[in-house]
Amino acid sequence: MTGHELLEPGAHRAHGVADDAALAAAMLRVEVAWMRALVDGGAAKSDHADAVERAVDGWQPELDAAEVEAAGNPVLPLVNALRARVEDPDAAALVHVGLTSQDVLDTAQMLVARDALDRVLADLDRTAGALAALADGHRASVMAGRTLTQYAVPITFGLTAAQWLTGVLDSRDRLDDVRRSLPVQCGGAAGTLSRAAQLVPDPTDTAAALADRLGLSWPGLPWHTRRTPVTRLGDALVQVGDALGSMAVDVLTLGRPEIGEVREGAVPGRGGSSTMPHKQNPVLATLVHSAALQAPQLGAQLHVCAGQAADQRPAGAWHAEWPSLRRLLRLTVVAAGQAADLIADLQVDSGAMTRRAHAASEALLSESGDSAGDPSAYLGASDAFVETALARFRGGRGDA
């Protein structure tokens, strides 16, 4: 228990995401792919790449923390350890040649980000599916609309779910865009591929080959100090938090005992209190809300760094990105899983909604001119909006 899970309930959902083992594996994957790209470019032999691949196979490197600090990043110690493991000395000498630490670390972070995004996207799809069912099934579940905490006009729970759904789809589509364009970093010591250019006929071809082997995109030039790929990723993750957080806050409000219109699904052992036996706390909504409170600061951190990316590699503004990006990836993976579970099991008490809407109808209908009317008859375009959201859900991508 030397980890950091006790203060991040749900951290097990992010097991293996962007942790040290995953990062080390990704860095090794970059080094191997680079060797293969050098082979493509005629600078190394297949035997060299095979030797490196054998050295990596099954290896779980243990780096010395003091060496990581001394190097300022984990790449140099990893490369040294890798070279020592490669049996063919010619191959060992070629490991990492032409790259710089930042090429390896930035690219490895894109790889671990991709894995995280795949998990997030799967959970967003799960959430979207459940929300679509709620939106469709509760088109007629009239409830009180509330603005600035007070009763407004009637709405339906179907519309509420449709709005949540649209937020989830917005964030899903943007995250998917980002996922499809995660770029390789490849520039060498100062962004000129100078060393690689000594080895291969066209180092930009080799960079493109590296990208190809890793399933990443080659953006045409390195981005050592142009951190758009990192901030785009961060912004998209924060947007996921926004969408889930806004939903969680509503669940928390509607689940207050005085309101009682929705409730987290009861799971044995979930939501208990250490002192009050009756308690059923909305744990998942609480944790999703907590995540949404945290994501903006992490996203801001990435921008604070991006705006100060100096020289050909900044002394600090690069380093300050790493823990925030990792934390943002893991936080989003956890929250997306929690939100999917939350929505899958959400208990909706449409009877309570309807009873309240009728009890509060005088307020809810004050705008309509007929405050003695039926709230269900004053729903305006609610159903049309549900249909818009569902059509988008069914039809796949497209922004709303």
Task: Tell the smallest beta-carbon distance from residue 365 to its own copies (Å).
Answer: 9
| Rounded Cα gap, residues 262 and 255, in angstroms | 5
| Burial classification of residue 89, based on how many CB atoms lie within 10 Å of its CB (0-12 exposed, 13-18 middle, 19 or more buried) | exposed
Beta partners for residue 217, in sequence order: 183
Task: Tell the smallest beta-carbon distance from residue 199 to its own copies (Å).
Answer: 11
Pick the closer one to its own copies by CB: 44 or 99. Answer: 99
Contact 262, 270 (CB under 8 A): no
| Rounded Cα gap, residues 211 and 223, in angstroms | 14
Task: Tell the smallest beta-carbon distance from residue 130 to its own copies (Å).
Answer: 18
Q: How many CB atoms lie within 10 A of CB 259?
A: 16
- Clarify whether 313 is annotated catalytic: yes
| Rounded Cα gap, residues 146 and 270, in angstroms | 29
Task: Tell the smallest beta-carbon distance from residue 51 to its own copies (Å).
Answer: 20
Task: Tell the smallest beta-carbon distance from residue 54 to its own copies (Å).
Answer: 21
Rounded to a whole number of angstroms, the CA Rg of the chain reads: 26
| Rounded Cα gap, residues 129 and 133, in angstroms | 6
Catalytic residue among 46, 181, 194, 273: 273
Enclosing H/E stretch for 142: strand 142-147
Of 86, 386, 326, which Cα lies nearest the Cα of 394?
386
Pick the closer one to its own copies by CB: 84 or 267. Answer: 267
Task: Tell the smallest beta-carbon distance from residue 180 to its own copies (Å).
Answer: 11
Task: Tell the smallest beta-carbon distance from residue 104 to its own copies (Å).
Answer: 8
Pick the closer one to its own copies by CB: 47 or 62. Answer: 62
Pick the closer one to its own copies by CB: 42 or 307. Answer: 307
- Clarify whether 324 is annotated catalytic: no
Q: How many CB atoms lie within 10 A of CB 127?
A: 26
Catalytic residue among 54, 195, 232, 313: 313
| Rounded Cα gap, residues 230 and 301, in angstroms | 11
| Rounded Cα gap, residues 111 and 29, in angstroms | 9
Pick the closer one to its own copies by CB: 214 or 295. Answer: 295
Pick the closer one to its own copies by CB: 47 or 84. Answer: 84
Of 395, 391, 389, which Cα lies nearest the Cα of 168?
389
Vertex 106 angle, CA 294 and 1, to 5°: 55
Contact 14, 330 (CB under 8 A): yes
Contact 134, 159 (CB under 8 A): no
| Catalytic residue annotation | 273, 313
